[in-house]
Amino acid sequence: MTDGSALRREMVDVCRRMNSSGINQGNAGNLSVRCSDGFLITPSSLPYETMTPEDIVEMDFDGTYVGRRPSSEWRFHRDILRERQEINVVLHCHSLYATTLACHHKTIPSFHYMTGVAGGTTIRCAGYATFGTQALSDNALVALKDRLACLLGQHGQISLGKTMEAALWLANEVETLSRMYVQALSLGEPPVLSDEEMARVIEQMKKMSYGQAPDPEGTNDLARPRDAAV
């Protein structure tokens, strides 16, 4: 991920899609992408509708930057990218249902198998800390341990990915799961899948991510391309 101009254009596009998809509103949320020895991050308090690629801020991991003032949440973007070398993108938004759960400091349990998209049996909620602080970053790192997404107490959500498309997709999935969980709670606390079942689910998801269909019960019953000679 070294073409800075292409990354900047894509970042602007993804930010606008965050708002148009409904997972973010106004100037809230922010996005960062690993680039060379540092990262690119959205600027502070600039509407996505008027943001241009030139407005994207270049930062180093020591906190120095070039250009406009970076997002107030630059600390957790920096710390996540520094700690999680397998991650290239950090996306933060204030999606409605995820934030609703975060206001109650609720972790999303494995009430639905798709909880596994975040990499574990739960999507944790980080403890509250003031926005823009090192304390918030520290809390987020704890909640994201072995996970690709978390909620931020009384704040919003964070989703990670190797690409911007992956992070945006995951943020939408977290919001969908949050909405389902809020609605399920209206009927009472829903049952949850066992850790053993979630381990099977996550393994199936890993297979799917490599373009392989699940192989239930070892039957080798795989969807496969028809032989060209047939």
Residue 3 clears pLDDT 70, i.e. is over it: no
Residue type, 86: E
Q: State phi, psi for 99 to the nearest 5 degrees.
A: -70, -35
- Cβ count within 10 A of residue 70: 25
* Rounded distance between C-alpha atoms, residue 138 and residue 27, angstroms: 24
What's the whole-model pTM score?
A: 0.91
Confidence label for 1 from pLDDT (cuts 50, 70 and 90): very low
Catalytic pick from 10, 54, 58, 73?
Answer: 73
Local confidence band at 215 (pLDDT 50, 70, 90 cut-offs): low
User: Using the 8-state DSSP alphabet, how is residue 33 labeled?
Assistant: E
Q: What is the pLDDT of residue 227?
A: 73
Q: Is the pLDDT of residue 24 over 90?
A: yes
Selected residue with higher pLDDT from 223 and 50: 50
- pLDDT, mean over the chain: 92
Choice among 24-33, 72-81, 121-130 with the minimum mean pLDDT: 24-33
Report the pLDDT value the prediction gives residue 214, as an integer from 0 to 100. Answer: 57
pLDDT of residue 230 exceeding 90, the answer is no
Is 189 tagged catalytic? no
Q: What is the pLDDT of residues 86-135, one digit of tens each?
A: 999 999 999 999 999 999 999 999 999 999 999 999 999 999 999 999 99
Residue where the block lists tokens 């509708």: 49
* Nearest residue to 78 (alpha-carbon basis) of 92, 56, 61: 61
The tens digit of pLDDT for each residue in 52-67 reads 999 999 999 999 999 9
The pLDDT of residue 76 is: 98
Sorting pLDDT into bands at 50, 70 and 90, what band is 223?
Answer: low
Nearest residue to 126 via CA among 159, 92, 155, 169: 155
Q: Residue 228 — very low, low, confident or very high, per pLDDT cuts 50/70/90? A: low
